């Protein structure tokens, strides 16, 4: 019996992560999904071809750009985790963003973004979509600001929850209700939340996107992106992907499947560690401000408590002393690696002013809300006591 059989009772995130989208027994009797390396899939005879083309026969797609058995299994598991009718994997998180927006927008239409969506998403909207006649408004990550930006030409609203790097959480339900009344599609990049901490589709959002490179893969060893939602909308994006070709290869799909099985365990550990570190940071005199969605000091904490079952593994904080203080702290840490990205088993740390926004002047960074003393800590699955001890010693060295 399939894991999608309607007779199955609801299951928790760990059970779904392990068994969701999987057959009870595979035809080849393997316990794990095999890697299928194939660029084409032959038909047994012409009648099978005709039945397949007419939609009367299910089988692997005829060509690798249109589907792969390993990738399809990973898509089924992701759909189960999100509670979605369908999911579509692509070669990276940015491929998922750009392909989805290109498939949904055309000249003369209007896109609303929130201010601290991923920087490359903003660049793509301003530089590429604008070149093709799509108008773009970028607003504060608040429901009232998003709704105020909607107009007759608006076709898509795209935000993140939580956002990067300040982990803002807007009222998804309020935005989705207003957008649906105006026949506007809503897209949430929920990379930081994961399906364990939040399921946006349950709040009326049309599509949810993840950089699967991060928490879903979880081991800093693959690139992938996914969009999940209704079968019709995802199917239209799938057809567009068949032309653009940003498909996921089967080896990365296999690594993603393996990583997904421990997703809930990893995220729960990261939630617990990050929340404790947020409290440590908030109590330290060297820290000017902490940004963590479930910390009482966060401006969106009440909204976050409604939508998030866990705060996630990222803690951002601002230090007194600006850029130099951030550098001293980062260099004093012993466990986190100085690297971009987030969501893996290893803790990572970075100063956004020196990594994501290095090419901007301090005044330009201030204008877009990036503080010089900002540090972003992506908490891994190391023992919480060890992470706390390391952070405390680095803060003590900074104060000294």
CA 210 – CA 222 distance, rounded (Å) = 13
Cβ neighbourhood burial of 158 (10 Å; 0-12, 13-18, 19+): buried
Please pick, among 116, 118, 166, 292, the residue that the annotation labels catalytic. Answer: 118
The yes-or-no answer on residue 214 being catalytic is: yes
The encoded tokens of residue 320 equal 């007194």
The C-alpha atoms of residue 308 and residue 67 are separated, in whole angstroms, by: 33
CB 167 within 8 A of CB 316: yes
- Are the C-beta atoms of 238 and 75 separated by less than 8 Å? no
C-alpha Rg value of the chain to the nearest Å: 22
What is the rounded CA–CA span in Å between residue 267 and residue 77?
17
| CB proximity list for 97: less than 8 A, separation 6 or greater | 118, 121, 124, 158, 189, 209, 225
Q: Quote the distance between the C-alpha of residue 225 and its chain's center.
A: 8
In 3D space, the residue among 179, 257, 250 whose CA is nearest the CA of residue 219 turns out to be 257
189 is a catalytic site residue: yes
**Got the DSSP string for 6-28?**
TTSPP--HHHHHHHTT--SS-TT
Q: Which of 155, 168, 185, 214 is flagged as catalytic?
A: 214
Q: Do 196 and 264 form a contact (C-beta atoms < 8 A)?
A: yes
* DSSP assigned state of 40: B
Q: Which of 41, 52, 65, 328 is catalytic?
A: 65
C-alpha distances in Å from residue 78, one per residue of 163, 259, 400: 21, 12, 47
State yes or no: is 199 an active-site residue: no
- Number of C-alpha atoms within 13 angstroms, CB side, residue 90? 27
Angstrom CA distances, 212 to 12, 287, 318, stand at 20, 32, 28
Distance from C-alpha of 104 to C-alpha of 335, rounded to nearest angstrom:
43
Catalytic residue among 116, 137, 189, 206: 189
Q: From CA 332, how far away is CA 313, in angstroms rounded? A: 20
Active site residues: 65, 118, 189, 214
């Amino acid at each position: 019996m399939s894991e999608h059989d309607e007779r199955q009772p609801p299951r928790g995130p760990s059970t779904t992560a392990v068994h969701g989208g999987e057959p009870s027994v595979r035809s080849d009797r393997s316990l794990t999904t095999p890697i299928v390396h194939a660029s084409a899939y032959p038909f047994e005879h012409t009648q099978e071809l005709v039945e397949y083309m007419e939609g009367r026969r299910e089988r692997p797609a005829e060509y690798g750009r249109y589907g792969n058995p390993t990738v399809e299994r990973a898509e089924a598991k992701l759909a189960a985790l999100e509670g979605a009718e369908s999911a579509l994997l692509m070669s990276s998180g940015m491929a998922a963003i750009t392909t989805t927006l290109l498939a949904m927008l055309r000249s003369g239409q209007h896109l609303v973004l929130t201010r601290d969506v991923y920087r490359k998403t903003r660049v793509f909207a301003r530089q590429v979509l604008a070149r093709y006649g799509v108008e773009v408004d970028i607003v504060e990550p608040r429901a009232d600001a998003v709704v105020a930006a909607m107009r007759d030409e608006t076709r898509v609203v795209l935000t993140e929850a939580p956002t990067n790097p300040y982990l803002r959480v807007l009222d998804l339900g309020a935005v989705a209700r207003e957008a649906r009344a105006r026949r506007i599609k809503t897209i949430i990049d929920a990379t930081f939340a994961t399906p364990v901490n939040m399921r946006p589709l349950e709040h009326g959002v049309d599509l949810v996107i993840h950089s699967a490179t991060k928490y879903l893969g979880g081991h800093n060893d693959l690139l992938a992106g996914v969009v999940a939602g209704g079968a019709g909308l995802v199917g239209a994006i799938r057809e567009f992907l068949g032309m653009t070709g940003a498909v996921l290869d089967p080896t990365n799909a296999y690594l993603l499947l393996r990583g997904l099985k421990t997703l809930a365990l990893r995220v729960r550990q990261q939630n617990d560690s990050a929340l404790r570190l947020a409290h440590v940071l908030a109590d330290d005199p060297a820290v000017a401000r902490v940004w963590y969605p479930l910390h009482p000091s966060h401006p969106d904490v009440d909204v976050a408590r409604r939508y998030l079952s866990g705060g996630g593994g990222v803690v951002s904080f601002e230090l007194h002393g600006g850029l130099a203080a951030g550098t001293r702290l980062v260099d004093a840490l012993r466990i986190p690696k100085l690297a971009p990205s987030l969501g893996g088993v290893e803790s990572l740390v970075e100063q956004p002013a020196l990594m994501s926004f290095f090419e901007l002047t301090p005044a330009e960074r201030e204008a877009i809300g990036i503080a010089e003393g900002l540090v972003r800590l992506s908490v891994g699955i190391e023992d919480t006591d060890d992470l706390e001890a390391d952070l405390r010693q680095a803060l003590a060295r900074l104060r000294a």
